Structure 1
Amino acid sequence: MRRAKITIVGAGNVGATCAHWCAAAELGDIVLLDIPQAEDMPKGKALDLMQASPIMGFDSAISGTTSYADTANSDVVVITAGIARKPGMSRDDLLGTNAKIVGSVAEQVKQTSPNAIIIVVSNPLDAMVQRVLQVTGFPSNRVIGQAGVLDTARYRTFLAMELGVSIEDISALLMGGHGDTMVPMPSCTSVGGIPILQLLDAKRLEEIVDRTRKGGAEIVGLLKTGSAYYAPAAATTQMVEAIVRDKKRLIPCAAYCDKEYGVGGFYVGVPVILGSDGVEKIVELTLTTQEQADFKKSVDAVQELVEAMGKLVNA
């Protein structure tokens, strides 16, 4: 059986760190691609990672390139390409520039890896994954946005810090758009099986949720010259693993909903079964009245973002 071929488009911090995590987990052979102007940079990062393999004991082959020809027939393509946020910028501020970059990448992937499953990481996430679907014309189950795994990880981290418990004991779920309107699901949050509202009062939980919503901006503000990459790359790697190892993970992803949750043809964060066919099922939950209201608000924000992107790319 051949190894999976995993292409990561964008050899910056997120892309290179994703390559690192994927190689360490031996998920497949990895191609790290960047724009021609990057010259030999992706080759240098790939070689550096390969030289770590004898020390860390992994056998993944890693190559760097600026040519899409080297990515041909990839099983999974991760798109991290685009400009990163700077202090004071929202994810939405990236809309016009990244729509053009991601659209160009999608066109190349469509030609070179027509059977790939695509994971989009570029921001603003919910619009960028919609753009990839539009350009590639791939079945929607094979175009997925990474956001829910990251947002939930931040939520779980802050809850563990607050309660002084192991991160392993916290089970949580966030839905909706990747941004300030993301929707916490207290009904799906527990610690060692104990419902979260038995351990935290509602006011303190909302403060933690608010920090989660602003988790990326908090890191941008601290770094000052870049944005988060360790956790986004780790979240992406978990999705890659679910696909190449057919894990059937039940995790939140930005998935295309054309009727689920009453959403009419947009990508939004929902719980899915993720396996070798990509999104194999969208899991529909019974939401509380408050969760329904919050989710609708988030979906409306995503729709506005997608419509704004449409005006920009067609201008």
Structure 2
Amino acid sequence: MKKDNMQKFAKAVDDGVHLKNTSDWIGPEESLELLELGRALAGQDYSKAHKAAVLAKVQSRTQLKQEAKPMKIQTGWKRPAMIVASLLVAGALSVSFVKPSYAQDLLGRVLQSINLGNIIAHEMDAAQIPDFPKEWEGKLFDKEGNVITSDSEKVSEIYNAAGEQIVNFDGDKLITKSEQEQRDKEAAERIVAVKSREELDKYAMFKVKLPEYLPEGFAFDRGEFYKSEEGVNGKYLDLFFSSEHEGQDLKMHFRYSDKETAYEMSFSGKVEPVKINGVDAVMMDDRNLDWEADGVLYNIVTHGLDRAEVLKIAESLR
């Protein structure tokens, strides 16, 4: 990014970082996309020795399995497609606001970007790991009650001063296991689960395509929409598939394609351009796929399946 463009970006984000709702944003769209990277990262100063282990655990609820549910719920349906962001430590981290100083550092870690229009994927330099939040210093403890410091050994679990396990974060606020369970309960009340293709088409704002090919042992289980006070949000659909084989998993996430649902993601693993039925797509670590076709943003997330199987599933959507 050229110096003058970076300065414009920094000013635009600085003007908007305190907005209560990003729907009030009046700056350039490209700045909004990075603006939405992360409240969780704003003004942060991290330690180094244990940062990967700590962040990996704290972010475990928001890892980029591309599930997007936390984003939809947090935004109250006004911008459910909060940019699926951009910070991979031991997976990925979904964040919402970032200060200009961090944005500049973030851009410096991008090895390559693949732009599909309403989907942008970045391959990040995994060697350059973001630091640990200064706001959390003295607030994180290991299982034995020892304060986690820059000299701490890697930890497997994180706790607060009261001995409650920390499993997530929201901005600078650390979320305990009990608080997350309550959030999950409230989120579950917003789910509309459907089993038939007819119901999928009833709620969705787009033609729902299901895979004609599934690996042995897989079967369609259900689709999930989310509702607010205004009713079911037909722009977003999550599809879940059951498997008879342990260690194998398949999920799909569909979005009606527009500026609201556009998303940006980053990954510390391999990111490469591929084709799905002649359409440009991006594949990450040979197991996740994203592309846009016929006005729909498609995302497939798998575990335990090889590259050929993942591509075959995607190409069989009808």
TM-score bracket, normalised by the shorter chain, equals under 0.3
Question: TM-score by structure 1 length?
Answer: 0.26
Highest Rg: 1 or 2? 2
Normalised to the residue count of structure 2, the TM-score between the two structures is: 0.26
Give the helix-richer structure, 1 or 2: 1
